[in-house]
Structure 1
Amino acid sequence: MNTSYDVKFWDIRRNASSKTPSYVTRWKVGPKEKSKTFRTKALAENFVSDLRQAAKRGEAFDLGTGLPESMAMAADTGPTFFEFAQSYMASRWVHTAARTRETMTYALLSLVPALVRDVPGRPDDEDLRAVLREYAFLPGKRRGELRPEHKVASGWLEAASLPLGDLAEPAVIRMALDAIALRFDGEPAAANTVRRKRAVLHHMMESAVELKKLSANPLHAVKWKPPKAVGAVDPRTVISPAQARALLDAVKLVGRTRGARMTAMFACMYYAALRPEEAAGLRRQNCDLPADGWGLITLERARPQANKRWTDSGETHDERGLKHRAKDDTREIPIPPVLVAVLRQHIDSHDTAKDGRLFRTSKGRPFSSSAYSAVWREARRLTFTAEQVASPLAARPYDLRHAAVSLWLNAGVPPTEVAQRAGHGVDVLLRVYAKCIDGQRAQVNGQISKALET
């Protein structure tokens, strides 16, 4: 390493040639002038401050990179954020479900293009996201041939990505937080989306600390609060039993056979509070359907939907264990006679798949979320008034599950039993459905009135 102690610094200046605001730091090591561009003035000032402090400590500066010895060594040995993101995804792939892989990637699509230097020739953001989504974050055996525009985008990211160590700077970690707070179109992201992306970033930083790539999690050094998310079910989404029956009748009328094939699936969401992925994985052998009286569903597996690039099977649905439970754990749900009758009729009319699955298309494929959501929208249109269609009332198929749990709680079923049937913890159940528990206001008002009269 050729070094020099002859170092001179110039003032930071605004980069007038850049499309977006950026700032150029300039300094001289021996006879060689150096410069580096940053997206914010604060980042530029921090960088120059580090250079000045190294010079005061008497460090030699490398003539090639223009950096003091300590910074040059860190730059040579540390990964970029892009490189670390790739290794992070690779290490997590085997241990996570398809939907989790999709969530992690979605967060990184915001982070990786934001944590870059102002290198000339930046590709369009959509090309950058495409190369990350379709190539960089997939296992090697799943990667296809890069298209020419994606080769350019990949090369630019490799050259422009900030060193992972730069995230230790508060200004840089704030850039990351600002990136996850926005949608790709620049509008503010939904609160739950921001929280999920921050959770991914937090876990990445913890992994970097564990691997000794960072000395501490930089998120702990900044004061930043994610937007407040609504954690409780909106009672305006909850339908009555009469409305549920009307909607299920309307589902049968949608399409030539599609609605009829989905009716029992929606009935399971309402009468048994199944999640959509649990209904997708329901088999005949999971159902005890007596001729009279209550039956029993014993859930074993779920089939959540994700983009096929993230699933183990390469299909849109992977089989997984039940949510919030051990791998081979089951959940028993007693079902009322009305659901027993619906399931028996469904099996008589449509039979089952070879593996016993109850709900599938006429060609044996699982229903996609877009398909059953479209049927549900049409059923709402056939059932509700224009005002109700425009309201949040049962706006999504998942709201059938909310209606079921709300009904059980309001019927006086003990929360422990409701939690067991719904697959929730009791604390989560009461927090999520707190606004949907009716029938207590009049009683409480009477108690308050009585107290005021004394």
Structure 2
Amino acid sequence: MEYAVELEELPSNPLHKVKWKPPKTTETVDPRVVLNPRQAEELLTALTYVGKRGRGRRLMALFACMYYAALQPGEAVALRQQDCHLPATGWGRLLVDVSRPEVNAQWTDSGDAHEERGLKHRGRDDVRPVPIPPALVKILRQHIEEFGVGADGRIFRSERGGVVASTAYREVWQEARKLAFTPAQVASPLTRRPYDLRHAAVSLWLNAGVSAPDVAERAGHSVDVLLRVYAKCLDGEQETAHQRIGDALTT
């Protein structure tokens, strides 16, 4: 409309007369979706027992990357062996540089539902290093030993060697929740989506005292977005504030 005004095809932009405003959306993470480390371990274990033809066992390491490294699903699906430093002992590192988000094939240039893209909110050639704990190093080493990697180095593949579809891992996910959780927890928002594993990881890091800039770098956020999105998931902040205010009042 503004361009039409510039070309003098319209005398003014009629949209300026519209008074409606889009409703506000919730940006913060619901703390009810965040599982604790014990629940995460139980859920990852349950994954190895569900799914047809051992599908859950094949996908367990994929979910572990979302929890231990806070990877987005598309980033985990695109992970390659050459991007992983997996030492025999100690911490390892992932170099995340591409993502394979699932979209409608008619909207991609290649016609593939998993078109390769750069990292969200970053330049096409940017790389995000993510340190990973020994637990995830061990899981990835075991996964590669058992299932191998694709011709392009991709760690996670379907039974036929293709890109893992979201429908496949969501189905396995729901089965694992029913096995690992109580009926009340299954009915609750607790890690209802695989993406909630990423929320659990970031919340854990922040509550462990890791600095916001470091957490933001690992998760691929800006610091301001990080603190705004995860504000409700920070435990113990209120008690600390109470103590500081009380100390100030008594001095």
Amino acid at match of 1:257: G
Amino acid at match of 1:259: G
Give the Cα–Cα distance (whole angstroms) in 1 for the partners of residues 6 and 205 of structure 2: 45
1:405 CA drift (Å): 0.4
> Which consecutive unaligned segments of at least 5 residues does structure 1 have?
1-204
| Distance in 2 (alpha carbons) for counterparts of 1:266 and 1:332 | 19
2:31 pairs with 1:232: no
1:360 aligned onto 2:157: yes
Q: Deviations over 1:75-122 (max 9, x none)?
A: xxxxxxxxxxxxxxxxxxxxxxxxxxxxxxxxxxxxxxxxxxxxxxxx
**1:65-84 correspondence runs (5 A):** none
Which secondary structure does the structure 2 equivalent of 1:342 belong to? helix
- Equivalent positions of 1:382-421 (< 5 A) are 382-421=179-218
CA distance change for structure 1 residues 297 and 217 in 2, over 3 Å: closer, same or farther? farther
Deviation at 1:409, TM superposition (A): 0.6
Cα distance, 1:366 vs. partner? 1.3
Choose from 41, 64, 76 the match for 1:267. Answer: 64
Bigger Cα displacement from structure 2, 361-370 vs 420-429: 361-370
- Separation of aligned partners in 2, 1:338 and 1:419: 21
**What is the aligned partner in structure 2 of residue 130 from structure 1?**
none
- Deviation, 1:346, is 0.4
How do 1:342-353 residues align onto structure 2 when only pairs under 5 Å count? 342-353=139-150
| Aligned match of 2:37 | 241
Q: Which structure exhibits the higher relative contact order, with contacts defined as CA atoms closer than 8 Å and separated by 6 or more residues? A: 2
TM-superposed deviation, 1:449: 3.7
SS of residue paired to 1:396: coil
- 2:95 corresponds, among 285, 298, 303, to 298
Per-residue deviation, residues 330-357 of structure 1 (Å, max 9, x unmatched): 1000000000000000000100110001
Q: How does 1:26-425 map to 2 (within 5 A)?
A: 205-206=1-2, 208-209=4-5, 214-255=10-51, 256-425=53-222
Which of these two proteins has the greater Rg computed from alpha carbons? 1
Where 1:409 maps in the other structure, the secondary structure is helix
> Match of 1:317, SS?
coil
Flag the 1:213–1:311 CA change in 2: closer, same or farther, 3 A. Answer: farther
TM-score (structure 1 length as normaliser): 0.53
Distance 2:247 2:63 in 1: 45
- Percent identical pairs in the alignment equals 61
1:428 paired with 2:237, answer no
* CA distance in structure 1 between the partners assigned to 2:202 and 2:99 by the alignment: 19
Alignment partners' CA distance in 1, 2:174 and 2:102: 19
SS in 1 for 2:93: strand
Distance 2:134 2:111 in 1: 38
Q: CA deviation at 1:326?
A: 0.5
Range moving further from structure 2, 427-436 or 255-264? 255-264
Query: Structure 1 residues 353 and 435, CA, compared in 2 at 3 Å: closer, same or farther?
Result: same
Which whole-Å deviations, capped at 9, do the CAs of 1:193-242 have from their partners, x for residues lacking one?
xxxxxxxxxxxx45655666545443322211211211100011100011
Specify whether residues 232 and 210 from structure 1 end up closer, same or farther in structure 2 by C-alpha distance, changes over 3 A only: farther
5+ residue gaps, structure 2, are: none
Partner secondary structure for residue 174 of structure 2: helix
Question: How many residues are matched?
Answer: 250
The TM-score normalised by the length of structure 2 is 0.94
Q: Distance in 1 between matches of 2:212 and 2:119?
A: 20
SS, match of residue 219 in structure 1: helix
Residues 376-429 of structure 1: per-residue CA shift (max 9 Å, x gap): 111110011111111111010000000000001111111111111100111100
Deviations 1:102-155 (A, max 9, x none): xxxxxxxxxxxxxxxxxxxxxxxxxxxxxxxxxxxxxxxxxxxxxxxxxxxxxx
From the superposition, tell whether residues 445 and 209 of structure 1 become closer, same or farther in structure 2 (CA, over 3 Å). Answer: same
Paired residue secondary structure (2:94): strand
Structure 1 residues 226 and 293, CA gap change in structure 2 (3 angstroms): same
